[in-house]
Amino acid sequence: MGCKYSSCYNLSSVVIPDKVRDIGELAFYRCESLGVVSIGCDVNTIGVYAFRSCISLKEAIFVDGNKPLQVGDNLFYNCPLEKLYVGRDLKFENFSFGKIKTLMTVVFGKEVTCIGDHLFMGCLRLKDIYIEAPIPPAVADGFNPSILSEVVLHVPSCSRMIYAERFPWSDFVSIQTF
């Protein structure tokens, strides 16, 4: 899939099917009505600026899967993304969700085993992180201190004690269960 969807101004939602393997650089550039995107579990890579300037994009879903997804830099550049669901491990090329100033809620699915370092630095509106995995995902360097005091960590009720005792999850001021 190359850039053939760029500037599709009336495209309001996209479901990338499981059979798609790669999403190219600037693939959905300036799809100004795009509000929701769901990316299938077999997608291997997403190119740089793939959703750049999708000025209505509020929600993105990386469908559950057990294969890591290679994510290009500035994937959601100039997008008002508010909610992100990550259902598998992501590998970044100099990318962090910190470049998304509007991000408020992030949900990590049961398949996520590793979360990138400094992933949310600069996410000024982030309020909630949900982790569905019963075993805490690995995080090498921890989180920015402002995240730890201002964001509520939501974890499975059966795993609260594990999160409360394991670094860096234990550093969150507020850990709630669901």
Q: Can you give the pLDDT at residue 5?
A: 84
Q: What's the rounded Cα separation, in Å, for the pair 126 and 10?
A: 29
CA distances from 16 to 21, 117, 163 (A): 9, 27, 33
Res. 159: pLDDT tops 80: yes
CA distances from 51 to 7, 88, 130, 166 (A): 11, 19, 24, 35
Q: What is the pLDDT of residues 73-87, one digit of tens each?
A: 888 999 999 999 999
Delimit the domains of the chain by residue range: 1-80, 96-178
Q: What is the pLDDT of residues 92-101, one digit of tens each?
A: 766 567 678 8
Share of the chain above pLDDT 90, in %: 72
Q: What is the CATH number of domain 1-80?
A: 3.80.10.10
Q: Which fold has domain 96-178?
A: Rossmann fold (3.40.50)
